[in-house]
Structure 1
Amino acid sequence: MLGNMMFKPLLISSMIEHAGRYHADSLVISKNTDTTITETTWGKVHENSKRFANVLASFGLNFSDRIATIAWNNHRHLESWYAISGSGYVCHTINPRLFPEQLIFIINDASDRVILFDKTFLPLVKAVKPLLKSVEHYICLDAVDEAISQDFPEIKFYDELIAQQNANFDWPELDELSASSLCYTSGTTGNPKGVLYSHRSTVLHSYAISMPDSLNVSARDIMMPVVPMFHVNAWGTPYAAAMVGCTLVLPGPGLDGASLTQMIDQYQVSVALGVPTIWQGLINAAQQAGSKLESLTRNVVGGSACPPAMLKVFKEQFGCETIHAWGMTETSPLGSANQFKAKHQHLSDEEKLQVRLSQGRPPFGVDLRITDEENGTNEVTRDGETTGNLQIQGHWIINNYFGKTESALTSDGWFDTGDIATLNEDGFLKISDRSKDLIKSGGEWISSVDLENLAMGHPKIAMAAVIAATHPKWDERPILIAIKKPDVDLSDTEILDYYADKVAKWQVPDKVIFVDAIPLSGTGKMLKKDLREQFGSVLMDS
């Protein structure tokens, strides 16, 4: 017997319809590539998404054709997202910081027929254009620019295109399992791999991240996703923002600490999301400007582990709760978020900090397990101490990569994340390291994350990375690569002494290397592969 309830497919178009109908006057604030600000509303975003849907309909595209975007977080990019997916096409967000060879590979692999781009990326698009096999239309996400037209005759301009269309468009009634968007992994080893999301998975993921035990987003919030829209769809926040109707602040290309401080204070941002390197820049800029970031009640940290010292600074200096979250491209991305349970409310501040250091609990819709490192399907005890392979399954988790027929899952249906972690009895996740970043010294494992977090607690260190260096006796030993804070005197001896009473002697790094910069990926993660290539033999040379 079936239930007697109405069936409506879970579609991305329903979220922008909801925002346009019930939150039409809620603001969408956007910093443009020329640093000007556009203040629009969800009602206008809704209208323009339909105008652009009419534009796409005129191109003669087929269902599920891929349309690429190379753009920052701004209102035009947002409008295009809803137009593309809502029309039954696939929105393929591209990281502009990838190497040109990788850009060419993923555009050709996806068979993109249209490319939308901010004009700041015009040189990049022109450089790769001769090697693109399937692209028929190039659209600049801006107003008409005659200089660009002369340089790139076939280019079309977003503002001109939507001005020629009306806002009457009926979203098609799609199968909720239809593909909606496509993101490629960062491709640190080999070519990037595509992860193809569905309307159903995206809507369910949006529900999950809005829940109080996740990111706790509501219509009362003013949310600023600093994480780029080209990185796992800005962690799904533009969809959740439309679902709940909150004010959305899109920072454009201005991701430096000073720009973010100014936008948070001017627009009274209540929740912001980004990676630790972004937040370190914000802290430094806010301190220099004398800002208390008074409106910011919480920030979400993902991408890599948040150093304990950073959590303390946000809490003690800015009165801001830091929510640790974990996920990856293959998980849409949310896999867990750190919100307290009732039993945690009576803990001391130090005990609460220890809870906050974990990556949190999985929301309803996904499940986590830790398996034995020798046997990929044998689950270990959930005691918060036994480490193993972190695996996940659920409604918004990958099944197979784009264009691949073979499953990406284990024999019993779980996705192995490549992380080494623990789970406790409440489901709180604590990631020890990426399996490829663990250091095996004399048969014993050392966590690079733990050593990095300790280094970031040193008052004279601005950024730190720990990698495995080849050692003639111990196979691998940890070395610390650090950036000093400006105008400080710091020796390697001082840092190594700082570790002395905090970790076992055999875990203390063998060497400290001071650098002016640490290479970062397009999403703000430290590129340890590059560091290993540069410094991985230093202990053999000494």
Structure 2
Amino acid sequence: MINAMMNSQLTITSLMKHAERVNGAVEIVSVTADNPRHRYTYREAFARARRLANALVKLGLKPGDTVATFAWNDYRHLEIYYAVSCSGMICHTVNPRLFPEQIEYIVNHGRDQWVFVDATMVPLLEQLQDTMPDVKGFVVMTDSAHMPATSLRNARCYEDLLAAEGDEFEWPELDENTPSALCYTSGTTGNPKGVLYTHRSTLLHCYASIAPDVFGLSVKDVALPIVPMFHVNGWGMVYSAPMTGAKLVMPGPKMGDGETLCALINEEKVTVSAGVPTVWLALLNYLAKTGKTIDSLNRLTVGGAACPFTIFDDFRNKHGVDVQQGWGMTEMNPLGTFNGNVPPAIADLPPEQYDKMRLKQGRPVFGVEIKIVDTDNNELPWDGASAGAVKVRGPWIIAEYYRYDGQTLDDDGWFETGDVACIDEYGYMQITDRLKDVIKSGGEWISSIELENCAVNHPAVAEAAVVGMPHPSWSERPLLLVILQEGESLSREEMLAWFDGKVAKWWIPEDCLFVDSLPHTATGKLSKKDIRETYKDYRWPDIA
């Protein structure tokens, strides 16, 4: 059969060239350690990416080599993203919040040749560099005026590297299946695993993410990606914003600072943002303390953990911001489902039912197939009640882990996410737990996530965690751990009574402990593994 259509390759290079030519005058604003408000355009960014590509060649790097970054969300990190991937190399974004032994493992496992490091993270790598024998050198992401004295071997200054190069570079013609980026899971069990993205998977994910019923980015938007670029490519916003011509505002090391976020939103007229729940709580707390508003912001996306109702309700009713929710994972690039625009059947629901639907993780994005299965791998119906293990497949979902000998997919070619969920007749998925965190009490499942969301809706509660602890009569029962809001007080009995009428009676936690802090993973999620270890000797109060 004659091929009637052109077979153009889906590459990040093509995205970059399009953005430079069509959206070149659009602004990128960054907060960095050496500049509180750096400004330039996409055209200037990609000219500097060509300078960097020339420098990469002079450093001895070649297509297929892996280049690591320890960096925040800013313009230099953006330049590295494009220069490395479009040169045919692999951009390995490393999460600096991981434990030192995890960082050592993934840098060595990823076979990183050079490391680009933000100046604020130099001390961390000075302590770890001897555990990274194959790394040839380090590039500190600053200018000569702010270049720190460092013991890093073969250390170079980023701006000095670029200053020595011209901005002409012949980008190689790449196959769309060329690897472009590498990101490791947080390694909550065992060593972190590497997920190797390709140019094709990245472009397809980008096309999906800009759809009206997903992020809905357009040239009218000013986007503030708060989710770190070292975490699943910042949910792809550093690709989708240039593709559409949205202005980018990048918070650098201030991504968790409510005051800085408020200032950026108001001064740069940010319209859309994305981040994890802890970031939004920090912003809401700052707004509540100062009485300030964020009038330009019209929508934000919550991901990485379930969205508490308080976040949804406060942004909507106090600030007029539509809170949308997404779900996915590192192995999915990360987008899987999205709860943004709602179909008419949902919009017409009574307010209480409508709110429950908006707090679900959303409907599958086209390109992602989802099914839920029981313990015998039988597919379960989408009836809103049947809960099972979530499996996915699609063109931007992992086929195999990087340099991994184990099995990644099941025998039918599906990837098991480790989540437990139900899906309703409208296609809305609700994550009820992680398979490893689900509480099995008397042969029935209890959702720790639903209990946590219920607990944090109490006005005196700042954060809550629920874990299943061994029980002689019921196998497991839920134990609630609560951090109170500053200045608030609450008794155990008052906290447990809060659940009455909100969840099934047999779901109500057996006990409640008030704590000063809770452990989190490197990506900001509650670390249930550490909580269970801390309380492994816990005994129920009514059991001798």
Q: RMSD in angstroms over aligned alpha carbons?
A: 1.5
Deviations 1:431-487 (A, max 9, x none): 111111111112221100111111111011111111112223222111111111111
**Number of residue pairs the alignment of both structures matches:** 540
CA contact (8 A) 1:180 1:198 kept: yes
* Paired residues for 1:86-165 under 5 Å: 86-144=86-144, 148-149=148-149, 151-152=151-152, 154-165=154-165
CA contact (8 A) 1:468 1:536 kept: no
Q: Does 1:366 align with 2:348?
A: no
Q: Does 1:279 align with 2:280?
A: yes
* Paired residues for 1:38-49 under 5 Å: 38-49=38-49
CA contact (8 A) 1:278 1:524 kept: no
Q: Which residue of 2 aligns with 1:294?
A: 295
Q: Which residue of 1 aligns with 2:351?
A: 349
* Paired residues for 1:500-515 under 5 Å: 500-515=500-515
In 2, the alpha carbon distance for the partners of 1:84 and 1:33 equals 23
Deviations 1:501-521 (A, max 9, x none): 222222111221112222222
More deviation in 183-192 or 33-42?
Answer: 33-42
Task: Give the 3 Å change call, closer, same or farther, for CA 297–492 of structure 1 in structure 2.
Answer: same
SS at match of 1:113: strand
Identity level (%): 43
Paired AA for residue 133 in structure 2: K
Q: Which residue of 2 aligns with 1:494?
A: 494
CA shift for structure 1 position 399: 0.3
Unaligned runs of 5+ in 2: none
* Paired residues for 1:164-243 under 5 Å: 164-243=164-243
Task: Give the 3 Å change call, closer, same or farther, for CA 404–479 of structure 1 in structure 2.
Answer: same
CA shift for structure 1 position 245: 1.4
Task: Give the 3 Å change call, closer, same or farther, for CA 511–153 of structure 1 in structure 2.
Answer: same
In 1, the alpha carbon distance for the partners of 2:166 and 2:39 equals 21
CA contact (8 A) 2:126 2:150 kept: no
CA shift for structure 1 position 540: 5.2
CA contact (8 A) 1:108 1:134 kept: yes
CA contact (8 A) 2:34 2:142 kept: no
Task: Give the 3 Å change call, closer, same or farther, for CA 217–174 of structure 1 in structure 2.
Answer: same
Paired AA for residue 11 in structure 2: L
CA shift for structure 1 position 406: 5.1
In 2, the alpha carbon distance for the partners of 1:300 and 1:35 equals 27
CA contact (8 A) 2:34 2:146 kept: no
In 2, the alpha carbon distance for the partners of 1:371 and 1:488 equals 43
CA contact (8 A) 2:179 2:199 kept: yes
SS at match of 1:148: coil
In 1, the alpha carbon distance for the partners of 2:35 and 2:141 equals 15
Q: Which residue of 2 aligns with 1:431?
A: 431
In 2, the alpha carbon distance for the partners of 1:519 and 1:427 equals 33
CA contact (8 A) 2:53 2:87 kept: yes
In 2, the alpha carbon distance for the partners of 1:20 and 1:342 equals 39
Paired AA for residue 94 in structure 1: V
SS at match of 1:431: strand
In 1, the alpha carbon distance for the partners of 2:424 and 2:91 equals 38
Q: Which residue of 2 aligns with 1:316?
A: 317
Deviations 1:356-402 (A, max 9, x none): 11111111111111111x223x2111111111110100010000000
In 2, the alpha carbon distance for the partners of 1:290 and 1:171 equals 50
In 2, the alpha carbon distance for the partners of 1:307 and 1:111 equals 39
Task: Give the 3 Å change call, closer, same or farther, for CA 147–396 of structure 1 in structure 2.
Answer: closer
Q: Which residue of 1 aligns with 2:419?
A: 419
CA contact (8 A) 1:227 1:523 kept: no
Paired AA for residue 328 in structure 1: M
In 2, the alpha carbon distance for the partners of 1:441 and 1:415 equals 28
Q: Does 1:334 align with 2:346?
A: no
In 2, the alpha carbon distance for the partners of 1:433 and 1:427 equals 18
CA shift for structure 1 position 537: 3.2
In 1, the alpha carbon distance for the partners of 2:2 and 2:185 equals 40
* Paired residues for 1:398-477 under 5 Å: 398-404=398-404, 407-477=407-477
In 2, the alpha carbon distance for the partners of 1:156 and 1:144 equals 10
In 2, the alpha carbon distance for the partners of 1:438 and 1:150 equals 47
CA shift for structure 1 position 414: 0.6
Paired AA for residue 286 in structure 2: A
Task: Give the 3 Å change call, closer, same or farther, for CA 136–4 of structure 1 in structure 2.
Answer: same
CA contact (8 A) 2:16 2:46 kept: yes
In 2, the alpha carbon distance for the partners of 1:492 and 1:42 equals 55
More deviation in 142-151 or 169-178?
Answer: 142-151
Paired AA for residue 100 in structure 1: P
SS at match of 1:538: coil
CA shift for structure 1 position 405: 5.3
In 2, the alpha carbon distance for the partners of 1:322 and 1:540 equals 39
Per the normalisation by structure 1, the TM-score is 0.97
CA contact (8 A) 2:140 2:147 kept: no
Unaligned runs of 5+ in 1: none
Deviations 1:73-105 (A, max 9, x none): 011001110000000000000000111111111
In 1, the alpha carbon distance for the partners of 2:508 and 2:380 equals 29
In 1, the alpha carbon distance for the partners of 2:146 and 2:329 equals 41
In 1, the alpha carbon distance for the partners of 2:2 and 2:52 equals 39
SS at match of 1:91: strand
CA shift for structure 1 position 7: 1.9
Q: Which residue of 1 aligns with 2:535?
A: 535
Q: Which residue of 1 aligns with 2:51?
A: 51
SS at match of 2:363: coil
Task: Give the 3 Å change call, closer, same or farther, for CA 270–150 of structure 1 in structure 2.
Answer: closer
SS at match of 1:36: strand
Task: Give the 3 Å change call, closer, same or farther, for CA 536–282 of structure 1 in structure 2.
Answer: farther
Q: Which residue of 2 aligns with 1:261?
A: 262
Paired AA for residue 264 in structure 2: M
